[in-house]
Amino acid sequence: MLRARVITGLIGAIVAIGVVWLGGWWLTAMVVLLALLAMWEYRRLLFHLQIHASFVVMAAVVLLLICGAQIGKSTLFLAVFPALLPVLFAISLFVKRTNDFLSLFFTIGGALYIGVGFASLVLLRRADTWVWHAPVADLGLFMVFFALVGTWLSDIGAFFVGRRFGKHPLAPEISPNKTWEGFWGGVVLTVFGLTSYAYWYDFPLGTAVLLGVLLAFSAPAGDLFESMLKRFAKEKDSGQILPGHGGILDRFDSLLFVAPVMVSAILLLLERL
């Protein structure tokens, strides 16, 4: 199991670095594929509970968000977002098997959860097109790696510190193995690592610390949210597509919270609306 986990992790890291470096439609195509797989897992989790989230509605909205993030600007993304809820509601009402409240609710929730999360990753890669005064060259590439590295550091710090010093449960009803000691270990390692990364690229350190703190809190929140979803569905993993890691949602749960938070933070800190 450990060997499979390590091999899958290494292959995934190499592919992720290459696709993020290329950016453009290469990254968008990969994100679309991941989003579709994530939606399939999401729908499968709920199907066991007789909740029929519409894959068609979710896919349409997610594709619109991701492709819109690639083609448009942050202002376009923000302009479309407020209309999503009523539009989703109207569409879902006319789609088969979403006539009960839970199916309708989880269709809308899944489209927003997966769509906004993955679309924000694409939008983050295109930060150079919507930030007026970028503090570093190729800000988009810098920020995507900032999000990826920060998410990995959060997981690593929480795992090793929690394993060695963990005594106080963080959320025992959701994820019994997570501890407060592991959480703070992840926060410290994340902020320190991202500040060092920012220093290396001459990125403003004050902004880096603030972004690092936001990331360090949003990453475990995303992890806990997906754990809550799996507990609700009475499943251990969202899928088995990644040997040793589970499913797409299991691997990208933190990033689905981190990417939107990073986009919002950049809009507030660097972009002049």
Closest to 190 measured CA to CA, from 233, 159, 157: 157
- Residue 273: which pLDDT band, with cuts at 50, 70 and 90? very low
Distance CA 80, CA 89 (A): 15
Exposed/middle/buried for residue 137 (C-beta within 10 Å: 0-12, 13-18, 19+): exposed
Average pLDDT over residues 173-189: 92
Closest to 144 measured CA to CA, from 268, 19, 11, 20: 20
Counted domains in the chain: 1
| Cα torsion through 79, 219, 130, 114, rounded to 10 | -40
* Predicted structure pTM score: 0.89
The yes-or-no verdict on residue 272 having pLDDT over 50 is: no
Q: What is the model's pLDDT at position 135?
A: 86
The yes-or-no verdict on residue 74 having pLDDT over 70 is: no
Q: What is the model's pLDDT at position 225?
A: 93
The yes-or-no verdict on residue 40 having pLDDT over 80 is: yes
Q: What is the model's pLDDT at position 201?
A: 92
Report whether 135 contacts 269 (CB < 8 A). no
Q: What is the model's pLDDT at position 3?
A: 65
Average pLDDT, the chain: 86
Q: Choose the weakest-confidence range: 75-84, 183-192, 216-225.
A: 75-84
In the chain, pLDDT over 70 holds for what percent of residues? Answer: 85
Question: Widest CA span of the chain, in angstroms?
Answer: 54
The yes-or-no verdict on residue 223 having pLDDT over 90 is: yes
In the chain, pLDDT over 90 holds for what percent of residues? Answer: 47
* DSSP E strand stretches across 114-221: 169-171, 175-179
The yes-or-no verdict on residue 20 having pLDDT over 70 is: yes
Average pLDDT over residues 215-229: 94
Q: What is the model's pLDDT at position 2?
A: 54
Q: What is the model's pLDDT at position 88?
A: 67
pLDDT tens-digit series, residues 94-128: 655 545 778 888 888 899 999 999 999 999 999 98
Distance CA 272, CA 152 (A): 30
Integer-rounded Cα radius of gyration of the chain: 18
Q: What is the model's pLDDT at position 10?
A: 82
Average pLDDT over residues 43-63: 87
| Residue entry with tokens 């993955």 | 118
Average pLDDT over residues 159-174: 89
* Domain residue limits at 70: 2-269
Closest to 269 measured CA to CA, from 221, 229, 212, 227: 212
Q: What is the model's pLDDT at position 156?
A: 92
pLDDT tens-digit series, residues 238-260: 877 766 667 899 989 999 999 99
The residue among 6 and 104 whose pLDDT is bigger is: 104
Average pLDDT over residues 25-32: 94
Q: What is the model's pLDDT at position 1?
A: 54
